[in-house]
Structure 1
């Protein structure tokens, strides 16, 4: 009989965390799933035991000890502040929260496995990037602020923990952008815009992971005995121009400074979050090598990058959701402003 696991999942107030925790409850070798977050989930969590706890607080150590947790899936690293507060709060949640969680794991004798949901954003995006980043590569330009810097710090702390607790299997997934009908993120907000601003003269390469493949990858990691850091993406690469054509939306090519101006408008209106790393990605793109995902981790996504985007595009096409309704009136403004700036800036380069 397989060992019965007790799994703690952080970040269950967000949709992906909640859905993953529910999925784990159905696994035959999982005895209990404890979902942790500072605020309760808005939707049903099924058989998940919810514990209201802020991982920035040392109380998380008591939760781990009380529940005899042996496996932790850390999903509460966030890409945008959202309703949680400003950039300072976001950094606290990401970096301080992870530090406290790792400190709790350090003390917990029951912990045997830690799975960390990270991101390929850690590689950055610049004109000097290789065609494909392997897990051993470093970003060509070290991030100085924002989400990318958070993730770099978090992964550093995770590696430190792995050295201090060699008895704990530590598995880190560096995910390409996750897409799907239920995903809300900076990239999905961007693609949901009625008019899509692009950077003039650039057509970045992109890779995607379907939300169901994210769930499958995390579940696979809970069961696998393989530690290490792994890039995760669907097969293939898409260009931004191909993605926009699939959406059947107008694109507005803008010179770089104009993109920053439009980004500020969108961000202030809370319609899309254009962080520096997002703008870099939309300029230069990023490719990640997934050889180790298959050969060592033993995971194969069901969806290719193109199939992932097609499913996302079909979901948008089924009718306007809350995001589309909120931004519908911005289309004409963006088109007028973008076209003027693009034609005015074209002669400068």
Structure 2
């Protein structure tokens, strides 16, 4: 008998994709996807793949776990952006209250032996005195005071409490860097889609990305460890190799930047949120000011996972799906080449000048 896996958050594209990919694993017998709304593309009609419309904030989730004898839970219903028709309050309830209810249900179901939760490197925060690179054990010098990052800090706290109460359950927390992929379901993706990119004057932060395909692959790896009899419990940073500066991202997108003083950009972020252009929250502003980079040695050495896409590769694929900016990269490159050629000609001595120099000697 294979594993029976429950995946939360399948109403979003990433969650639905993870559910479908896990069903292809030969060690998985059934996958149950749960959410308050069905996925846009459905979960298909393949045997062993089921969608249950339920809210993880409600006690009914315990019945779903018990009736289907679930042994592995993949908790993806932790998000920074609301679904259509919902607001920030509903998102926070799902992130925090929903996680509490799900963990309470798992605690009561003895069949549960594996719990995997999708977190984010946002838990480290972004501040001026941060270390150059965060390891999993590095404490944040400025804990998030609100928004999605604060939700994640609370979620991880509840998960650690669950791990202490159920030591027989292998618990894995995956802290993903900024995810970019086909779903585009992230505040940073919305920011990069703007025709003009407001930036903080005097700052050029370092950014890390992880490809959506690598997100799916590492989740498959973690859930598939039952086959080898090993379970890698713990907390792991997941990010592609390398970093990109925000200015490099803007050039590759062909988007002009608009440097704004730090106090003013907070007003700009509020204005953009009010008209629904971009969710430039205080958390995002801190990221676009100080950036964030994490170590990934644990990911490679303990999990044995190496991302297929580097940070630059991930962003390049993201750029390829975007409409051309006001300053298309190819046009910018041609302009730079012409400028370099013009400067070279100006600095190159003319033949007449060489003759005059010889006569003077």
TM-score by length of 1: 0.89
2-structure distance, mates of 1:105, 1:314: 42
Q: Does 1:240 align with 2:241?
A: no
Match of 1:252 among 229, 243, 258: 258
Please identify, of 221-230 and 257-266, the stretch whose mean Cα deviation from structure 2 is larger: 257-266
Residues 2 and 27, structure 2, Cα contact 8 Å, conserved in 1? yes
How far off its partner does 1:84 sit? 5.0
Q: Does 1:137 align with 2:138?
A: yes
Structure 2, unmatched stretches of 5+, are: 226-230, 326-361
For 1:159-192, what per-residue CA distance to the aligned partner results, in whole angstroms no more than 9, with x for missing partners? 0101111111101100000012332210000000
2-structure distance, mates of 1:297, 1:227: 9
How far off its partner does 1:41 sit? 1.6
Residues 102 and 161, structure 1, Cα contact 8 Å, conserved in 2? yes
Match of 2:15, SS state, is helix
1-structure distance, mates of 2:263, 2:145: 20
Compared with structure 1, are the counterparts of its residues 174 and 84 closer, same or farther at alpha carbon in structure 2 (3 Å cutoff)? farther
2-structure distance, mates of 1:116, 1:286: 21
Residues 171 and 234, structure 2, Cα contact 8 Å, conserved in 1? yes
**Corresponding residue of 1:196:** 197
Q: Does 1:285 align with 2:283?
A: no
1-structure distance, mates of 2:36, 2:85: 10
Q: Does 1:34 align with 2:32?
A: yes
For 1:195-231, what per-residue CA distance to the aligned partner results, in whole angstroms no more than 9, with x for missing partners? 1111100000000000100000111110121110000
1-structure distance, mates of 2:42, 2:33: 12
**Corresponding residue of 1:151:** 152
How far off its partner does 1:23 sit? 1.0
Residues 16 and 183, structure 1, Cα contact 8 Å, conserved in 2? no
How far off its partner does 1:268 sit? 1.3
2-structure distance, mates of 1:76, 1:44: 17
TM-score by length of 2: 0.86
Compared with structure 1, are the counterparts of its residues 83 and 182 closer, same or farther at alpha carbon in structure 2 (3 Å cutoff)? closer
**Corresponding residue of 2:328:** none
Residues 10 and 19, structure 2, Cα contact 8 Å, conserved in 1? yes
Greater gyration radius: 2
Moved over 3 A (4+): none
Q: Does 1:177 align with 2:178?
A: yes
**Corresponding residue of 1:78:** 79
Residues 22 and 28, structure 2, Cα contact 8 Å, conserved in 1? yes
Residues 184 and 190, structure 2, Cα contact 8 Å, conserved in 1? no
How many pairs are equivalent? 318
Q: Cα RMSD between the aligned structures? A: 1.4
For 1:31-73, what per-residue CA distance to the aligned partner results, in whole angstroms no more than 9, with x for missing partners? 1100000112221211320001100001100000011100000
2-structure distance, mates of 1:93, 1:182: 20
Q: Does 1:160 align with 2:149?
A: no
Structure 1, unmatched stretches of 5+, are: 321-349
2-structure distance, mates of 1:10, 1:178: 18
How far off its partner does 1:257 sit? 2.0
2-structure distance, mates of 1:180, 1:88: 26
Residues 36 and 54, structure 2, Cα contact 8 Å, conserved in 1? yes
